[in-house]
């Protein structure tokens, strides 16, 4: 008898997958295209040659030297020099440049006279990755400016080259980044953005699959075909989607670690297992959210909202240490956070899987979470109330 119920509900789920083209587009095309887009965007390792402007109101040997150093930097591309601050600001607003470096008048005289002039740079953070590169380049130039001014002053006072070097850099620092000596941004950004984007798709599709039954009032028939078991109805209906999502997730991992060469310093089976748990955790998370809000429109909206803000909440664009404690705590209720930690520990750093056991356990825990709300969803399915 149970086998008949399973057969009926799986058949129902497969029929809905075949009849609606949106499932194939959202479950296969969009995740693979999204992964390809992110990987191809910064396959060189970082965003380079961001278009910027320059405003030089000093026009001295010092300012021209700073301009040459800025133009030689790999992060930025000085495409235009402007005569005033207003011209450069208007160019940013028109989208011609993404930022500009401002050298004030009398920079050289004020610097040599000990009046502490100010160098300014303006960055449009509407474009996060190019803005970060600009900020890094502009900040480097200001450090070079301080060193150049100090060198000129000390040479005027008769200091030797060794004395100048010992004063400006008394301690030489050698930086050796662990597991990523190239400082490749793709290793960090794509390891977070691509899975989180994939999680967004899983949440939306799962919420849509459950919510569409509530919207059209077919949920009662759905549960009855499963013999009145809400757990069997959900498991059988979502099982085909789980299989497709897992295959797509493994394909994305193949693109990341084999085609585009992201580091994989652990056994491939570790990350393959993590992807299976990641898919199950996000499906269960979507089930939990739509059980709390058993409505098609509100449930899908809630899932999309949580998925979008997880880009920030999970510390991908802002470190947890920089967030408010109550806000940082929210990152631990989102599955994407744990998959990211697993990928950093295993794929990037290659530590023993034992030290990531709690992250695997957390993903597994998400799959158990919705069972506590199964009664609520079943009650709604057996007594559907249409809400537009």
Q: What is the DSSP string of 334-354?
A: SHHHHHHHHIIIIIIT---GG
Our CA dihedral for 366, 228, 244, 21, rounded to 10 degrees, sits at -120
Q: Contact, 338 vs 363, CB < 8 A? A: yes
Whether residue 90 contacts residue 96, with contact meaning beta carbons closer than 8 Å, is answered with: no
Residue pair 381/219 in contact by the 8 Å Cβ criterion: yes
For CATH 3.40.1710.10, the residue range(s) in the chain are 50-168
Kindly state the tokens that stand for 149: 């001014």
| Structure tokens belonging to residue 80 | 């235009």
- Rounded to two decimals, the pTM is 0.76
| pLDDT tens, position by position, 243-277 | 999 999 999 999 999 998 888 999 999 999 999 99
Report CA torsion sign: 276, 279, 283, 285: positive
Per-position DSSP letters for 40-94, written without gaps between them: HHTTTSS---EEEEEEESS-SHHHHHHHHHHHT-SSEEEEEEESSHHHHHHHHHH
Question: End-to-end alpha-carbon separation of the chain, Å?
Answer: 37
Distance in angstroms (rounded) separating the CA atoms of residues 115 and 121: 20
- Residue pair 292/373 in contact (Cβ under 8 Å)? The answer is yes
CA distance 203 to 209: 10
Per residue in 100-142, pLDDT (tens digit) is: 888 888 877 777 676 777 788 888 877 766 777 788 778 877 7
Mean pLDDT of the chain: 81
Architecture of domain 50-168: 3-Layer(aba) Sandwich (3.40)
pLDDT tens figures, 126-183 = 776 677 778 877 887 777 766 666 666 666 656 665 655 655 556 666 666 676 666 6
Structure tokens that stand for 296 in this block? 């098609």
């Amino acid at each position: 008898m149970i086998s008949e119920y399973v057969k009926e509900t799986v058949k129902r789920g497969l029929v809905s997958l075949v009849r609606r083209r949106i499932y194939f587009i959202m479950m296969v095309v969009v995740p693979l295209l999204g992964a390809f887009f992110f990987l191809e965007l910064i396959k060189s390792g970082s965003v380079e040659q961001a278009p910027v402007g320059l405003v030089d109101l000093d026009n001295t040997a010092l300012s021209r030297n700073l301009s040459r150093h800025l133009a030689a930097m790999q992060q930025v591309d000085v495409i235009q020099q402007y005569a005033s601050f207003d011209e450069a600001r208007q160019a940013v607003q028109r989208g011609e440049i993404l930022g500009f470096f401002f050298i004030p008048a009398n920079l050289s005289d004020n610097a040599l006279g000990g009046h502490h002039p100010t160098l300014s740079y303006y960055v449009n953070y509407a474009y996060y990755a190019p803005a970060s590169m600009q900020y890094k380049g502009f900040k480097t130039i200001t450090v070079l400016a301080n060193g150049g001014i100090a060198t000129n002053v000390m040479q005027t006072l008769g200091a030797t080259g060794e004395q100048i070097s010992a004063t400006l850099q008394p301690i030489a620092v050698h930086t050796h980044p662990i597991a990523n000596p190239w400082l490749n941004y793709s290793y960090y950004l794509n390891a977070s953005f691509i899975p989180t984007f994939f999680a967004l798709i899983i949440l939306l599709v799962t919420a849509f699959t459950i919510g569409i039954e509530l919207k059209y009032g077919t949920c009662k028939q759905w549960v009855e075909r499963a013999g009145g078991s809400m757990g069997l109805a959900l498991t059988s209906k979502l099982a085909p989607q789980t299989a497709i999502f897992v295959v797509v997730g493994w394909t994305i991992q193949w693109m990341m670690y084999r085609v585009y060469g992201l580091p994989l310093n652990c056994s491939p089976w570790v990350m393959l297992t993590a992807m299976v748990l990641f898919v199950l955790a996000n499906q269960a998370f979507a089930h939990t959210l739509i059980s709390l809000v058993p409505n098609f429109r509100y449930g899908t909206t809630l899932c999309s909202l949580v998925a979008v803000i997880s880009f920030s909440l999970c510390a991908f664009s802002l470190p947890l240490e920089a967030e408010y404690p109550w806000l940082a705590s929210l990152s631990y209720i989102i599955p994407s956070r744990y998959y990211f930690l697993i990928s950093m520990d295993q794929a990037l750093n290659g530590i023993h899987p034992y030290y990531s056991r709690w992250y695997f356990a957390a993903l597994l825990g998400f799959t158990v979470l919705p069972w506590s709300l199964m009664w609520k969803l079943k009650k709604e399915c057996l007594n559907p109330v249409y809400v537009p």
